[in-house]
């Protein structure tokens, strides 16, 4: 396990956990922690860890390990994961995602929609989260051990879908603009593509990829299916991407322009977190402000 970020505000007091809120983002090969003050939403700690291939058993369906012993064993060793906080939110990342209108939000209906989109086996659990009151619902498939370990390690925690958190953050920051907007959220093994126009969700889906050219292919494919011209479209990027990455370089050749998503409003960042590429942690940062 390698720590790739561990930034702490000097005023953070680990023994005063009851004052804080803990947000955790779980990805198949990494996990990240955010600690904020429960009442002021001041950012106090931001950390992220990536698992080496030797730390977890061979990944299978959806990129997750076959069993969760090593994954959650590593997570439980991290000091952030041992905090006793006022509230704990855990968002889970999955490439197996489907969307449904509110009238299909009953679990039995969501299960039918999910089964139509992906192979659904007994070792997987479906998690759902509404995007708003009486709004669309996202559903994801994750290994059954994920909610089981989360319940054991973090009793009383709130389990969420990362795709919904990201979309809520996008809507909160960008829905006041009327022109169509395209967002691409990059994870190491898959990416999510979201298209909104004002407060309307036009499209949300996830695609697995093995090379940067796969990302470009799927973005072009979706844009064509929606009747849009990629060469005329600005795309907003977030997640595991930088200006030096191959994904950025390939998209830049075909898009009108690229930009990184702005950090969420509603959080007091302070000087301790200057210089961090906050677009890398967009989903995590939105967890305490997008419930």
Residues 53 and 158 in one domain: yes
Residues 23 and 90 in one domain: yes
Answer whether residue 45 is part of any domain: yes
Answer whether residue 58 is part of any domain: yes
Residues 159 and 217 in one domain: no
d(CA 186, CA 192): 7
pLDDT-wise least confident of 26-35, 56-65, 97-106, 272-281: 56-65
- Give the chain's radius of gyration (CA, Å): 18
SS3 sequence of 35-71:
EEECCCCEEEEEEEEECCCCCCCCECHHHCECCCHHH
Residues 74 and 33 in one domain: yes
pTM, rounded to two decimals:
0.92
Residues 155 and 198 in one domain: no
CATH at 42: 3.30.420.250
Question: pLDDT digits over 36-63, tens only?
Answer: 999 999 999 999 999 876 555 554 556 7
3-state secondary structure of 229: coil
Residues 159 and 74 in one domain: yes
Domain carrying residue 151? 2-96+144-163+267-279
Question: pLDDT digits over 84-136, tens only?
Answer: 889 999 999 999 999 888 777 778 888 888 888 888 788 899 999 988 777 78
Q: How many domains does the chain have?
A: 2
Residues 155 and 70 in one domain: yes
């Amino acid at each position: 396990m390698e720590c790739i970020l561990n930034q702490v505000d000097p005023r953070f007091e680990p023994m005063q956990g009851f004052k804080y809120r803990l947000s955790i983002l779980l990805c198949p090969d990494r996990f990240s922690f955010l600690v904020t003050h429960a009442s002021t939403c001041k950012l106090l700690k931001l950390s992220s860890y990536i698992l080496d291939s030797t730390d977890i058993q061979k990944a299978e369906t959806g990129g997750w390990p076959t069993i969760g012993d090593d994954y959650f064993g590593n997570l439980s060793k991290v000091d952030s994961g041992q905090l006793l906080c006022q509230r704990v939110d855990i968002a889970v990342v999955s490439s197996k995602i489907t969307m449904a209108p509110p009238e299909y939000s009953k679990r039995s209906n969501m299960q039918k929609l999910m089964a139509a989109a992906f192979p659904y086996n007994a070792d997987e659990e479906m998690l759902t989260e509404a995007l708003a009151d009486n709004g669309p619902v996202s559903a994801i498939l994750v290994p059954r051990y994920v909610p089981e370990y989360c319940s054991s390690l973090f009793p009383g925690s709130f389990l969420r879908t990362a795709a919904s958190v990201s979309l809520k953050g996008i809507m909160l920051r960008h829905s006041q603009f009327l022109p169509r907007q395209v967002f691409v959220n990059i994870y190491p093994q898959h990416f999510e593509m979201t298209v909104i126009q004002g407060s309307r969700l036009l499209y949300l889906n996830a695609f697995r990829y093995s090379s940067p050219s796969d990302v470009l292919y799927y973005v072009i494919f979706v844009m064509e299916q929606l009747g849009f011209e990629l060469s005329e479209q600005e795309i907003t990027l977030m997640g595991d991407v930088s200006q030096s990455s191959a994904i950025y370089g390939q998209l830049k050749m075909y898009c009108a322009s690229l930009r990184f998503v702005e950090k969420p409003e509603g959080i007091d960042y302070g000087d301790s977190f200057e210089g961090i590429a906050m677009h890398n942690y967009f989903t995590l940062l939105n967890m305490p402000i997008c419930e």
